[in-house]
Amino acid sequence: MMHTFLLLVYLGTGDGRQLISNDMYFRSLLDCNFFAAELSRRYGNYGSIELLHPDDRVTAYCVPKLVDPESVKVYD
């Protein structure tokens, strides 16, 4: 068993919020936070966050998780 960081990615806000990814494990918190930031970044002609529809907003963050590295892929 080893301690890792699980990247959770949600799409939407409020009652419509859905977990869309919960299977990426990282050895490093810095790596996990890097991908969380990149996945939640938005490009386009929005001008401001208020113009982005709530269903299209992404929240991503890392939580510690104890896993068996023989049974799950852990990114270095």
Indicate whether 11 pLDDT > 80: yes
Q: Is residue 49 over pLDDT 90? A: no
Domain segments of the chain as ranges: 2-75
Q: Tell me, what's the pLDDT at 56?
A: 83
Q: What is the Cα–Cα distance from 27 to 46, expressed in whole angstroms?
A: 35
SS3 39: helix
According to the model, what pLDDT value does residue 70 have?
A: 95
Residue type, 4: T
